[in-house]
Copies of this chain bind each other. A is one copy, B any other.
């Protein structure tokens, strides 16, 4: 098929044009497990709504998904409790760094949105409320979305995060002082640090986000994950808040709902069309993959395809 050939060539072109942008950044170094990842690694995977998959580079190498996991936990809770989620979390861009406490102080412990750390920690607290066994159920959910049973936590990463995550402890205790964390901080952060330590390949990530490009239906199981209206709403959140305080810039340059993580991954979708995952560990000063953003911008520019 013509279109398949085109996408494969395009991904290869993106790799050759953008891979070297990684030299302008550097991998996250706050925990050893992330710091030791080679900045030379690079991968892109694309899967269309009808299941045609394309990939280039190290697309079968698992990496730490970090904040990308916030989309998974949010989705789990959103489908369980719906609009009640907004009693405890906002849906506005944060305007400040992903781990800032200032906004929380001004707004009495209500995080701006579910994709900054504070918001995801509240979501983790909700997981404890609504799941028997949050960590097992999360893994089961992600495996089902990606159609891949091999996905797992990296315990070394989770343990390192716990040992060094003082800022996240501060966020959790601070929100607890406002009454917006209901479980013990240790239990909430155990869920949170584990979700960040899930490891996936770009192939798996592109598949796991495909339900968003499929009006909320898991294409592998035909299960409705979210109804079309909520699928739209989740993508709006990703567009306005998915890349920390670089979200506006990313929307401007790329024009695609997406979520990034400090492991160097970014996954985006074009509604009703496709899902696209990129990975390059070197980050810019706002914590996003520098080559990854470049590749995604060129993707929407070369295809003249975006949500706008």
Contact = CB atoms under 8 A, between A and B. Distances in A.
Interface of A: 90-96, 100-103, 105, 112-113, 166-167, 169-174, 176-177, 185, 228-229, 231-233, 235-237, 239-241, 245-249, 251-253, 255, 257, 271, 300-301, 304, 306-308
Nearest to A103: B95
B229 A91 contact: no
13 contacts: A93-B93, A95-B95, A95-B96, A102-B105, A166-B173, A167-B177, A170-B173, A170-B177, A239-B239, A239-B308, A240-B247, A271-B307, A307-B308
Nearest to A101: B101
Pick from A169, A228, A241, A248 the residue with the most CB of B within 10 Å.
A248
Contact of A232 (B94, B105, B231, B308): B308
Contact of A248 (B228, B240, B246): B240
What's the number of copies of this chain in the assembled complex? 4
Contacts of A231: 308
Contacts of A251: 236-237, 239-240
Contact of A95 (B112, B167, B236): B112
Nearest to A256: B236
B308 A236 contact: yes
Contact of A100 (B105, B248, B301): B105
Contact of A301 (B103, B229, B255, B271): B229
A233 B169 CA distance: 35
Contact of A93 (B95, B171, B174): B95
Contact of A92 (B92, B93, B102): B93
A246 B240 CA distance: 11
